[in-house]
Structure 1
Amino acid sequence: MVVTWDGPDDPQDPFNWSVQKKWWTVGLGLLASFICSVNGTILSVAHKSISEEFGVSDEPFPNSYWVTTSWGVGAAIFPLILFPLIEDWGVRPVVLSTYFCFMCLLIPIGLAQNFATLVAVRFFSGGCVPLMSDAVASITSNVFHGDRARSVPVCLYVVVYLGATSLGPVIGASILQFLDWRWIGYIELIFTAAISPILFLGLHETRGLAILRANAKRMRKEGKKAYTAEESHGKTLHQVFVKSVQRPICMFFTESVVFVATIWAAFSLGTVYLFTQSVEEVYGQLYGWNAVQAGYIQSAIVIGEILGAGLSLSTNHWYHASAARNTEVPGTPIPEARLYPAIVGGFFGVTGGMFVYGWAAYPDINWMVVTVGLTMVGFGTTAVVISIANYLIDAYSKYAASALAAVGLVENASIAFLPLAASAMYTNLGFHWASTLLGFVSLMLVATPFLVIKWGKEIRAHSPFMKDAIIVRQRDLGVIVGV
């Protein structure tokens, strides 16, 4: 007996849940993701205090940043290897077990007796955070069906991650202003532990396969021979592991769209982490600010990220309106239309913001002008990342998870290593030209979506992964003969 849903209206199917239950579950996932994502940058504001205590020198290399670099390396490696292996357990076990491991890894932060302990622990906590974020993304796709329904949850997912990352230095600064740096770890642990009962009691399982498997297991205990379709012809862990690692890497090197999207997203996210280094240097030398003040000012990036999310939501009609001119799959929006907000955000946000951040950096120019540049970059980064996520989901359909895994791998590598160059760039090139260099790189990347938009149909025709997505769309519309 094959266990499946009891018809299209089965109330157990997460797609059929009430709106309130869907948003409750998504909201809990976003809360957990926010709490964990803050961890990436929260210690950055305390790098001087940590270096003084453990005798770490930033000359000639910024060794104090290894605490964040190790976090980024863990974030790049763990989800690529582990998430495909554990996602079939169900979303709830993954979220709860990952959250518990993350919480335990916060304990050594405040108790660390040497710098190596911090670096090692941060590697594993960094590995937990994207596992949590990936699980939250799964929750969204498990309960909301169709691109219209997913637009707002996907937007919130991205802005929560970016906002938490940018708020890390702000929260760290508010603690460091009154307490020793070790209290950053203690307070983060207290807050994380306080939320855990809510997650444990309130988070629902959303993965359909896991729900059906639980039903089949219960029926087998009752003496029935019941199995899900996946259990009857399941793959070995080794097969799943090989495919989970191979496909994202293969798509990165063979799919031009994935390559460009990955580099663009990685650069945009890397600049947010780069600010954890450059802001303190710029505001310190120009205006005499200390690390705490420089941490607070990064809240301007969060404001920009919220504005970027507003742009993405308010321009959804651009995407849906493209259906009227789609000759490839009539009646469905053109995937490349997802990139329109990224062009706006990349040009007026990241590129423009870098130029403002660079060329307003004079002592006689008010600090608020430089801060506008930070806000612009936050605005542009959010628009770019949301657009890229939506575009890859639409363009690659069932292969979207692999495409996004490639993006995540390079993104986390970028946040690990790009900021290491911040000190040398802003010291050797100067504030103006270091930011200008980043602005020109952004400008080059903004040109790429114009090529994708112009040649999108031809690119899809030569991509085996995109061809499958087109077939899925056509079947959904019933336009293929015999369907």
Structure 2
Amino acid sequence: MPVEEQWPVNDSSDHQPFDDQQWDQHAHNPFNWPLGRKWMVMLTSLVVTFFTGINSTSPTTAADAVSEEFNLSNDVFEYNFFDVTAWNAAAAVVPLAALPIMEAYGMRIGYLAAYALFTIFLIPQAVAQNFATLVVCRAIAGGAGGTLQNAADGVAANVFRTSQERAVPVTLYVFSLVLGVTMGPVLGAVVEPLGWRWIFWIELIINGALAPLVFFGMLENRNEVIRSKIFPDVSEKSGTKETLQDLKETVVRSAVLLTTEPTVSSFTLWSAFSYGLVYVMSQSVPVVFTGAYGWPIFSGGLVQVSIGIGQAIGLFGCLLQDKIYIRSARRNTESPGTPVAEAILHFSIPSTPIALAGGLFMYGWSTLQSHWIVTAVGLALVGYAIMVIVSAASIYVTDAYSGYAASAIAALTFGENTFAAFLPLAAKPMYVRLGYPWASSLLAFIAVALTLAPVTLLAKGKTIRSKSKAIQEMCIQ
């Protein structure tokens, strides 16, 4: 397969009129690609999402070694977590600007540039001679990594036409995202005996080996970009002003949706809290398993595998949830043939109080008994719930706000990365001062309270959506 496709340019001398229907049926329209080609591009983005996620959390297991080398004090507050905070803070902000630019000028070139930047900045992370350098380099890597992660959702929207077709790809995207950040501490625990710098060297080797896959597998999949190459005389070309305008609209609309649309704001809190718990666990697990069971600090990272097992089980739950969602199109009287948005919530609602809150209660209170396996089972329940909740929230907001899908998902991912950046900073002080049972119970009570949002939308979703100003604007447009 050629690295850069040679698009067949339409010759204006043929006097063949161009219209939208012609492009809708064109073989080079990504929606009309063969299924194998679609999944090649999609799977490439999923693999990259997984390995970039590993980089976000892998240093947490080596916190003591990093603190000792750079003379950081971590008696109660984990100053060494600022390298993870910097990664996620950049991942929250940079994609808001990077993704609209990629949409205007091409997904492939932007994706390859972000991947190259991410991979290159693994080197200064490995050789950093002070903590400030490590934090800055991880912020740059986080900006590139967050762009790569969020781009996977855009790839799904670019190559799969309907919400039914996108359900499974989006679910797999969420799985690769949450599993990657969960497995980061596991990699750190395995490599830590070699020295903390080897964590980044190993990641450099892996991402370097994946470079050919990314180079050949990430084809241009942006509809408007491909169309402009085939029909250069009739396609609208985005200039700098138009790109900046699109960027401004995406950022402003994301902020508006997040602050004025109760559905988006409540679902962002629900999903962001769940996603942030992966990072909270990266801080609390070493504390809990060292204090309650006498494990070495770095060995606590291995316990993260139990969260990953829970997420893998959650993936199967999500695939079943997707089937229910797709079948709901048959009974949709409001928009026949389109799935009912609320149908994606059936698994996630009971999972929040039972698996998420229940797993947190088990995780905290099981430390009063002697065997670690019960605590690990609690973590697996939390992992299951995280997978189901984040997947449901992502599909719901993109479905309910389909006309503003890019802005809606940007608001959601901004919230997720913001929570991931700052929520874990309170983890160690909370678990030290409140004790393991009550610290986990506090998180569980928050999880129970957040169940109100999806329950309300399941019962009154149609009515709430009919009163939404943003959705009314989409209908007018």
Shared fold (TM-score greater than 0.5)? Answer: yes
> In the alignment, what sits opposite 2:171?
155
After TM superposition, give the deviation of residue 182 of structure 1 in Å.
0.7
TM-score, normalised by the number of residues in structure 2 = 0.92
Q: Which deviates more, 138-147 or 245-254?
A: 138-147
Structure 2 residue 462 is the aligned partner of structure 1 residue 462: no
Structure 2 residue 243 is the aligned partner of structure 1 residue 237: yes
Structure 2 residue 379 is the aligned partner of structure 1 residue 374: yes
> In the alignment, what sits opposite 2:195?
180
> In the alignment, what sits opposite 2:317?
311
> In the alignment, what sits opposite 2:292?
286
Helix, strand or coil: the match of 1:42?
Answer: helix
Q: Which amino acid aligns with 2:305?
A: S
Which digits, 9 at most, give the CA deviation of each residue in 1:239-298, with x for residues without a partner? 223212211001111100000000011100111100011000000011111123111110
2:96–2:247 CA contact under 8 A, matched in 1 = no
> In the alignment, what sits opposite 1:194?
209
Query: What CA distance in whole angstroms lies between the structure 2 residues aligned with 1:433 and 1:287?
Result: 18
Query: What CA distance in whole angstroms lies between the structure 1 residues aligned with 2:162 and 2:213?
Result: 29
2:314–2:388 CA contact under 8 A, matched in 1 = yes
In structure 2, the CA distance between the partners of 1:87 and 1:8, relative to structure 1 (3 Å rule), is: closer
In structure 2, the CA distance between the partners of 1:471 and 1:335, relative to structure 1 (3 Å rule), is: farther
> In the alignment, what sits opposite 1:253?
259
In structure 2, the CA distance between the partners of 1:397 and 1:375, relative to structure 1 (3 Å rule), is: same
Query: What CA distance in whole angstroms lies between the structure 2 residues aligned with 1:313 and 1:368?
Result: 28
Query: What CA distance in whole angstroms lies between the structure 1 residues aligned with 2:18 and 2:189?
Result: 53
Query: What CA distance in whole angstroms lies between the structure 1 residues aligned with 2:456 and 2:229?
Result: 47
Q: Which amino acid aligns with 1:76?
A: A
After TM superposition, give the deviation of residue 86 of structure 1 in Å.
2.9
Q: Which amino acid aligns with 1:453?
A: L
> In the alignment, what sits opposite 1:399?
404
Helix, strand or coil: the match of 1:361?
Answer: helix
Which digits, 9 at most, give the CA deviation of each residue in 1:402-427, with x for residues without a partner? 11111111111111111000111101
Structure 2 residue 272 is the aligned partner of structure 1 residue 266: yes
Query: What CA distance in whole angstroms lies between the structure 1 residues aligned with 2:183 and 2:76?
Result: 29
Query: What CA distance in whole angstroms lies between the structure 1 residues aligned with 2:51 and 2:308?
Result: 15
Counterparts of 1:56-205 in structure 2 under 5 Å?
56-177=72-193, 179-205=194-220
Structure 2 residue 442 is the aligned partner of structure 1 residue 442: no
Q: Which amino acid aligns with 2:177?
A: Y
Helix, strand or coil: the match of 2:220?
Answer: coil
Query: What CA distance in whole angstroms lies between the structure 2 residues aligned with 1:257 and 1:295?
Result: 35
Q: Which amino acid aligns with 1:33?
A: T
Q: Aligned match of 1:36 in 52, 57, 65?
A: 52
Q: Which amino acid aligns with 1:466?
A: I
Q: Aligned match of 1:431 in 412, 430, 436?
A: 436
> In the alignment, what sits opposite 2:354?
348
Query: What CA distance in whole angstroms lies between the structure 1 residues aligned with 2:139 and 2:73?
Result: 21
In structure 2, the CA distance between the partners of 1:53 and 1:154, relative to structure 1 (3 Å rule), is: same
2:90–2:146 CA contact under 8 A, matched in 1 = no
Residue segments in structure 2 that go unaligned for 5+ positions in a row: 1-11
TM-score, normalised by the number of residues in structure 1 = 0.91
After TM superposition, give the deviation of residue 149 of structure 1 in Å.
1.4
Counterparts of 1:212-223 in structure 2 under 5 Å?
212-216=227-231
2:303–2:376 CA contact under 8 A, matched in 1 = yes
After TM superposition, give the deviation of residue 235 of structure 1 in Å.
5.0
Query: What CA distance in whole angstroms lies between the structure 2 residues aligned with 1:422 and 1:326?
Result: 44
1:267–1:411 CA contact under 8 A, matched in 2 = yes
1:35–1:192 CA contact under 8 A, matched in 2 = yes
2:23–2:29 CA contact under 8 A, matched in 1 = no
Helix, strand or coil: the match of 1:113?
Answer: coil
After TM superposition, give the deviation of residue 173 of structure 1 in Å.
0.9
Q: Which amino acid aligns with 2:351?
A: G
Q: Which amino acid aligns with 2:322?
A: N
Which digits, 9 at most, give the CA deviation of each residue in 1:312-357, with x for residues without a partner? 1112333244445544334533211211121132122211110110
1:308–1:345 CA contact under 8 A, matched in 2 = no
Structure 2 residue 15 is the aligned partner of structure 1 residue 9: no
1:344–1:380 CA contact under 8 A, matched in 2 = no
Helix, strand or coil: the match of 2:357?
Answer: helix
Q: Which deviates more, 6-15 or 259-268?
A: 6-15
Q: Which runs of 4+ in 1 moved over 4 A?
A: 1-7, 468-472
Helix, strand or coil: the match of 2:62?
Answer: helix
After TM superposition, give the deviation of residue 12 of structure 1 in Å.
0.7
1:395–1:469 CA contact under 8 A, matched in 2 = no
In structure 2, the CA distance between the partners of 1:276 and 1:234, relative to structure 1 (3 Å rule), is: closer
1:3–1:229 CA contact under 8 A, matched in 2 = no
Aligned-pair RMSD on alpha carbons?
A: 1.9
Q: Which amino acid aligns with 1:204?
A: L
Query: What CA distance in whole angstroms lies between the structure 2 residues aligned with 1:292 and 1:142?
Result: 41
Q: Aligned match of 2:69 in 26, 44, 53?
A: 53
After TM superposition, give the deviation of residue 236 of structure 1 in Å.
2.7
Helix, strand or coil: the match of 2:346?
Answer: helix
**Equivalent residues, number:** 461
Q: Aligned match of 2:224 in 190, 202, 209?
A: 209
Q: Which amino acid aligns with 2:147?
A: L
Query: What CA distance in whole angstroms lies between the structure 2 residues aligned with 1:114 and 1:7?
Result: 54
